Amino acid sequence: MNDQVEQQDVTIYRAKKILTMNRSQPEATHVAVRSGRILAVGTEEQAAAWQGARHDERYADKVLMPGLVEGHCHLHEGVVWLYVYVGFYDRRGPDGKIWRGLKTIDEVVARLREAQGALKGGKHLIGWGFDPIYFGSRRMSVQDLDKVSEDRAVVVMHASMHLMNVNGKALEMAGIDRDTDIEGISRFANGEPTGELCEFAAMFPVTRLIGNPFRVLGQSPECLAMFGQVAQVAGVTTATDLVNELHDEGIVSMAATTRRDDYPVRIVPAASGMFFGRDTEACMNKLALLKQNNHDKMRLGIVKLVVDGSIQGFTARLLWPGYFNGAPNGIWVTAPDDLNYIVEQYHRAGIQLHIHTNGDEATEVALVALERALTLHPRFDHRHTLQHCQMASPAQFRRIAKLGLCVNLFANHIFYWGDAHMEMTMGPDRANRMNSCATAERLGVPFAIHSDAPITPIGPLFTAWCAVNRRTASGRILGESERISVASALRAITLGAAYTLHMDGLIGSIEIGKFADFCVLGSDPSRTEPEALKEVAIEGTMVAGHAFEAPGKH
């Protein structure tokens, strides 16, 4: 029995129900917290053993579950709101404002023109969230964006962040013309650039021009605060920044901001292997140096690689028979030979890799590289994770299981792009197997599900709804046999995601010794109808024993 002084530092929270995600003790009603960690979990009678503890009834009529874990998102979810939203679907900003989705390219142009009217002279105009796949054969071009302005650079990031559209002034300032020899520059029949730039090499001259704000500003206190707001509202207590270029000042700033008790999220940045390319030693040296800034709420250590692009942007790499509508195959962001070398170097050094593979050909080359590295340098419990992994076949999932890999599947794609995948990119058969959570579960592959925010809004309960129901925006069911249970989906957004981050010993379930990170709910998601899962109200969060109320709650 601890002495009375120590017990006075204990707070016992009572809830209507606690979903622990601990299979040996799945439910409880009381949880004791000391020094930001979980001291005890159980019944009222068990809690009474901690004599002298403070009792807190604030959650007495609420349901607690582990703080939700977003295993694939980006800090520039907090940056994008500095710019103009031009997406197809309605979207809520950090301040609660609903931005109406735009249904035509003319509406996109109109919103940009309105925004540029209020912009100071000399500043670039940046929009985000655009996706031409919703507009059929109509593609936005320089002629459209020149209507916004001919005097300033106008840059519109696609929702996938793998493509952009720019106006003539931006092309001129970036030095892109008919003679520029970079893969991914779309062209008119006469050879002139259309203003659509596909993948990072083609976009680089423009991102350099505008200062690459989506990568750099995400670590500023202002944007970290906005990201924290968005995550908190979604019940998220741990989130990734799954592409981080390891800028010294940015990491120091992030470490200082996240360390504060009033910052509501733990951040897990992934070093961008794409930024360092084949110079893996430089990346690992930088990572080792900057890991000195790590603390309980910021954890550097993983590396992110990108193999291909976006399915809806037609830059993902597909195996035969390719794109359903006959579009040419996509673009290698990392060439297969380079990937073999890069994967081996990081794996041999003991680094955990998170590898972006959208198309099944990209998944294939990633599996070849990982199998080679594991053969040359056997390693237990590496937990290398294929991110998105949207088109993996059952045969590929069997290899994933054999190699001890994890997957983090992009379940939100089913809702946002499922209809387009059925009709344009994949066709009926392959679209039905996209983001195969049930196959992963059946074959014993550890899996998580994610939003890839800001690609889609951060909201793990919505992501869980997508994996459970597999309903597209038009209401069709895409791959009924790949649906998973509510219980499996809730595990995927808590302990499943924590496992892929090698953090399941610290977060993801309500167990003794773990961080006191909770999501506070108005009702029990494990008992709700599958169709209603996304409607479960999030009332607040707790991070390391510090409570955060949802906006508007007092």
CATH code for the domain of 194: 3.10.310.70
Residue whose pair of structure tokens reads 């593609």 in the numeric block = 139
Q: Please give the single-letter amino acid code of residue 317.
A: R
CA dihedral (202, 203, 208, 212) positive or negative = negative
Span 18-32, pLDDT tens digits: 999 999 999 999 999
In a domain, 98, yes or no: yes
Beta carbons within 8 Å of 150's beta carbon, 6+ residues apart: 167, 168, 169
Question: How large is the average pLDDT for residues 127-132?
Answer: 96
Beta carbons within 8 Å of 226's beta carbon, 6+ residues apart: 77, 78, 79, 81, 94
Are 31 and 85 members of one domain?
Answer: no
Question: How large is the average pLDDT for residues 262-291?
Answer: 97
For residues 459 and 525, what is the distance between their CA atoms, to the nearest angstrom?
A: 14
In a domain, 2, yes or no: yes
Are 94 and 50 members of one domain?
Answer: no
Whether residue 89 contacts residue 101, with contact meaning beta carbons closer than 8 Å, is answered with: yes
Are 54 and 135 members of one domain?
Answer: no
Q: What confidence category does residue 8 fall into, taking pLDDT thresholds of 50, 70 and 90? A: low
Q: What confidence category does residue 554 fall into, taking pLDDT thresholds of 50, 70 and 90? A: very low
CATH code for the domain of 535: 2.30.40.10
Q: What confidence category does residue 553 fall into, taking pLDDT thresholds of 50, 70 and 90? A: low
Chosen domain end from 157, 191, 213: 213
Q: Quote the Cα angle for 233-386-251, to 5°.
A: 55
Are 41 and 142 members of one domain?
Answer: no
Whether residue 175 contacts residue 202, with contact meaning beta carbons closer than 8 Å, is answered with: no
For residues 367 and 314, what is the distance between their CA atoms, to the nearest angstrom?
A: 22
Give φ, ψ of 397 to 5 degrees: -65, -35
* Residue 458 pLDDT: 97
Residue whose pair of structure tokens reads 């344009």 in the numeric block = 424
Residues listed for the chain: 554
Are 11 and 98 members of one domain?
Answer: no
In a domain, 31, yes or no: yes
Does position 343 have pLDDT exceeding 60, yes or no? yes
Are 84 and 54 members of one domain?
Answer: no
Residue whose pair of structure tokens reads 């998973």 in the numeric block = 484
* Residue 201 pLDDT: 95
Between strands 518-521 and 185-187, the pairing is unpaired
User: Mean pLDDT of all residues in the chain?
Assistant: 95
- Which of 445, 440, 533, 535 has the alpha carbon at shortest distance from 479? 440
Are 87 and 167 members of one domain?
Answer: yes
Answer yes or no: pTM beyond 0.85: yes
* Residue 332 pLDDT: 98
Radius of gyration over every alpha carbon of the chain, rounded to an integer in angstroms: 23
Would you tell me how many other CB atoms lie within 10 Å of the CB of residue 199?
Answer: 24
Q: What three-state secondary structure class fits 522? A: coil
Measured CA to CA in angstroms, residue 284 lies from 7, 78, 191 at distances of 44, 27, 42
Span 139-158, pLDDT tens digits: 999 999 999 999 999 999 99
Q: Which residues of 132-143 are buried (b: 16+ CB within 10 A; e: fewer)?
A: bbbeeeeebbbe
In a domain, 306, yes or no: no
Tokens matching residue 528: 């709700």
For residues 23 and 549, what is the distance between their CA atoms, to the nearest angstrom?
A: 28
Q: What three-state secondary structure class fits 244? A: strand
For residues 354 and 500, what is the distance between their CA atoms, to the nearest angstrom?
A: 9
Are 51 and 83 members of one domain?
Answer: no
* Residue 355 pLDDT: 98
Are 101 and 40 members of one domain?
Answer: no
Question: How large is the average pLDDT for residues 265-285?
Answer: 97
* Residue 65 pLDDT: 98
Residue whose pair of structure tokens reads 């009926």 in the numeric block = 428
Does position 512 have pLDDT exceeding 90, yes or no? yes
Q: What confidence category does residue 410 fall into, taking pLDDT thresholds of 50, 70 and 90? A: very high
* Residue 53 pLDDT: 94
Peptide bond before residue 321 is cis, with ω within 30 degrees of 0 = yes
* Residue 476 pLDDT: 97
Does position 212 have pLDDT exceeding 90, yes or no? no
Q: What three-state secondary structure class fits 378? A: coil
Span 435-460, pLDDT tens digits: 999 999 999 999 999 999 999 999 99
Residue whose pair of structure tokens reads 């703080």 in the numeric block = 67
Are 50 and 87 members of one domain?
Answer: no
Q: Please give the single-letter amino acid code of residue 539.
A: E
* Residue 214 pLDDT: 79
Whether residue 129 contacts residue 91, with contact meaning beta carbons closer than 8 Å, is answered with: yes
In a domain, 283, yes or no: no
* Residue 215 pLDDT: 74
Neighbouring-strand partners of residue 547:
542
In a domain, 233, yes or no: no
- Which of 5, 1, 98, 80 has the alpha carbon at shortest distance from 40? 1
Domains identified in the chain, total number:
2
Span 484-504, pLDDT tens digits: 999 999 999 999 999 999 999
Q: What is the dihedral of CA 77, 83, 86, 91, to 10 degrees?
A: 40
Question: How large is the average pLDDT for residues 340-357?
Answer: 98
Measured CA to CA in angstroms, residue 64 lies from 60, 165, 199, 473, 522 at distances of 10, 44, 42, 30, 9
In a domain, 241, yes or no: no
Would you tell me how many other CB atoms lie within 10 Å of the CB of residue 296?
Answer: 14
- Which of 469, 520, 553 has the alpha carbon at shortest distance from 237? 520
Give φ, ψ of 33 to 5 degrees: -125, 135
In a domain, 443, yes or no: no
Does position 322 have pLDDT exceeding 50, yes or no? yes
Does position 226 have pLDDT exceeding 60, yes or no? yes
Question: How large is the average pLDDT for residues 277-287?
Answer: 98
Does position 5 have pLDDT exceeding 50, yes or no? no
* Residue 185 pLDDT: 97
Are 46 and 101 members of one domain?
Answer: no
Chosen domain end from 165, 183, 213: 213
For residues 370 and 122, what is the distance between their CA atoms, to the nearest angstrom?
A: 47
For residues 476 and 422, what is the distance between their CA atoms, to the nearest angstrom?
A: 10
Which domain, by its residues, includes 85? 75-213
Give φ, ψ of 218 to 5 degrees: -60, -20
Whether residue 7 contacts residue 52, with contact meaning beta carbons closer than 8 Å, is answered with: yes
Are 41 and 111 members of one domain?
Answer: no
Chosen domain end from 213, 240, 256: 213
Question: How large is the average pLDDT for residues 467-483?
Answer: 98
Q: Give a three-class secondary structure readout of 481-493.
A: HHCCCHHHHHHHH
Does position 337 have pLDDT exceeding 60, yes or no? yes
Neighbouring-strand partners of residue 163:
198
* Residue 457 pLDDT: 97
Does position 6 have pLDDT exceeding 60, yes or no? no
* Residue 416 pLDDT: 98
Beta carbons within 8 Å of 214's beta carbon, 6+ residues apart: 74, 76, 79, 80, 157, 161
* Residue 51 pLDDT: 85
Whether residue 400 contacts residue 407, with contact meaning beta carbons closer than 8 Å, is answered with: yes
Span 31-79, pLDDT tens digits: 999 999 999 999 988 888 888 899 999 999 999 999 999 999 999 999 9
